[in-house]
Amino acid sequence: MTQEELAKQFAAQKVEELSAIVEEAYLKGYEQGCIDSDGPITIDGVTYVDLGLPSETLWSSWPLEYCDYGYKQRRFSYRDACQLSLPSVEQWDEVCQFCHFDGRFIIGLSGERIGYDIAPAGYFIRSLGEGCKEEQNMFWLKGDVDEENNAPTMVYDIITNIENEIENVLRGASRHFIGYKLPVFLVKNKE
């Protein structure tokens, strides 16, 4: 084989290797671009948004839902919910610290928002979560179950005026009996 033929063979091998490297780099960049992009991100059928939090945690845009003649919230006992990627108390505290609560939406630093269903005064709240007080909405958080079988929850206390318009939403963390069924938000770490 001549030196020119060897050089062409070597070049052809390098072209194949470089093509594979470029293709892999492109795919990784594309995946990262999808994660870094503005707007919703769908992972395993769940839509997440980047609220612009310092931890870069992605939050599901709504509590988990199922379709049965329209969308309805899925509710879980804590035993079932704790198997999911629930937010921790610390992640909820971060939302409370950095996000703005506006009606039925939580608006992040990025302008993206997550939403939740509310029930007006006098409405039977069990459709939004068992054992909730009127004008209150709860969602499970990941954490330890105490000796009274209560687990951590995030809480929305909703204040409405006479026309059933929301005037203020107070937020906090609480504990709730693990046997009740509540909606859930999911979180993912940005990868």
pTM of the model: 0.69
CA-derived radius of gyration, the chain: 24
The first and second tokens of residue 28, run together, are: 């990784």
Same domain assignment for residues 14 and 88: no
Q: Compute the distance between CA of residue 152 and CA of residue 175 in angstroms, rounded to an integer.
A: 4
Using CA atoms, how far apart are residues 172 and 158, in angstroms rounded to an integer?
12
Same domain, 54 and 138: yes
Residues 31 and 96 in one domain: no
State how far the Cα of 117 lies from the Cα of 11, in Å rounded to an integer.
62
Domain that holds residue 105: 41-189
67: region left, alpha or beta (phi > 0 left; psi from -120 to 50 alpha): beta
- pLDDT of 69-103, one tens digit each? 555 678 889 999 999 999 999 999 999 899 988 77
Give the tens place of pLDDT for each residue, 14-58.
777 766 776 665 555 545 444 455 677 888 888 899 999 999 999
Residue 85: which of 39, 141, 138 has the closest Cα? 141
